Each structure stands twice: as C-alpha cells, then as structure tokens.
Amino acid sequence: MALARLLPVELVLLAAAFLCGTVAAAALTWTQGSFNGSCPLYGVVSLNGSSLALSCPPPPSVCYFVAGAPGLLALYCLLFFWVYSSCLMDCSRGPIGLRITLVISTVAIFLVLVSACILRYGTSSLCNSIISLHSTISCPEAQKIPWTTPGTTLQFYTNLHSAETASWVNLVLWCAVLVLQILQWKL
C-alpha cells in the first residue's frame, strides 16, 4: 500500500524536474544564442570603446554540456512519466526496474550537480570579468550596457541566473526522487 502512494509522488517530482530541466536548458540556450553561439560561461569580457565584447569565450561544448544534461534528463522524465502514467500505473515496479531507476537517478544527480556548479562558477567568472572593467558595479547593471554584438544584452544575466536557479531546484527534486526510490526499495 505504501508503494502505491509513493509512485504518484515520484511522478509529480519527475514532472517538476522536467520543468526545471527544460527551463535551465532553454535559458542557457537562449543566452548562448544571443552571443552568436559563443558560450558566455567563464568568458572574458573586454571594453570595445563604450561597448562590451566577449573577447575570450570558452569552447561552445561547455554550454552544450550544461544545457544538454538537464535537457536529456527532462526528456527522460517526460518518457518515464508517460510510461508509468499510461502503461504501468496498475503494475508494480520490479526489483530490477527499481535498481535501474536508482542508478539513473544517481547519475542524474551527478550530472545536474556538475551542471549547476558550472553555471554558478561560469556566471560568476563572467560577472567578475565585467565588473573588473569598472564600467559597471554589478552584472545585472551590465545588461544595460551596449555590447558589440547587437542583441547580446537580451537579459543575459537574468537568463543565466534563471538557468542556475532551475538547476539547483532540479538537483533538490532529483535528490527527493532518489530518496523515494530508496524507500520503495526498502519496503
């Protein structure tokens, strides 16, 4: 009976993780697009007259990983939710299926943690580079300064901050999913 109550809670948490993963991936992808495909995380900013320019961006693969990991996990959540809600809701999950989901949840926690840390420190590095130019006192204020690439100021800090927040919430959700799965395994 307890297992029957835990599965719907797990599905709700996975649905929330899907939303957080989608928000994180979309916000970072939007920001990378506003920098013409260059990854702003850990980027070095220079002053080009009165405009800012991303002079030394890291490889785009940094952003691809950070957006791709939660994006793929969001697809997994969607698939998992769809399979259970449409096909297996009346069935119980077997021990092999539960072990597989435990492994997937553990890997998901690791990937989301790494992505959230890259977002946190990458955004902080970008902001420190902007502030070191002494043209602004904060990164949110730098959104008002023109950039050499038109359209780059489209709320880059707000988007990066949203992606980071969604990643940390996603991490908490995946930890809660793992705890529920461990409870199901013990029962």
Say what the pLDDT of residue 37 is. Answer: 86
Say what the pLDDT of residue 169 is. Answer: 97
Phi and psi, residue 134, nearest 5°: 60, 25
Q: DSSP labels for the chain?
A: -HHHHHHHHHHHHHHHHHHHHHHHHHHHHHHHHHTTT---TT-EEEEETTEEEEEE---HHHHHHHHHHHHHHHHHHHHHHHHIIIIITTSPPPHHHHHHHHHHHHHHHHHHHHHHHHHHHHHHHHHHHHHTTTS-SSHHHHTTS-BSSTTTTSSHHHHHHHHHHHHHHHHHHHHHHHHHHHHHHH-
**pLDDT < 70: residue spans in the chain:** 1-4, 81-82, 84-93, 150-154
Which residue range forms the structural domain that includes residue 14? 2-186
Say what the pLDDT of residue 87 is. Answer: 62
As given in the structure block, the two tokens for residue 145 are 């300064």
How many CB atoms are located within 10 Å of the residue 157 CB?
Answer: 20
Q: How many domains does the chain have?
A: 1
Residues whose CB falls within 8 Å of the CB of residue 102, separated by 6 or more in sequence, listed in order = 178, 181, 182, 185
CA 173 vs CA 5, 12, 28, 124, 187: distances in Å: 18, 10, 20, 24, 21
Single pTM value for the model: 0.88
Say what the pLDDT of residue 93 is. Answer: 63
Say what the pLDDT of residue 12 is. Answer: 86
- Do the Cβ atoms of 105 and 177 come closer than 8 Å? yes
The Cα 116–Cα 89 span in angstroms is 32
Say what the pLDDT of residue 85 is. Answer: 59
Say what the pLDDT of residue 1 is. Answer: 45
Tens of pLDDT, residue by residue over 81-113, are: 667 656 655 556 677 777 888 888 899 999 999
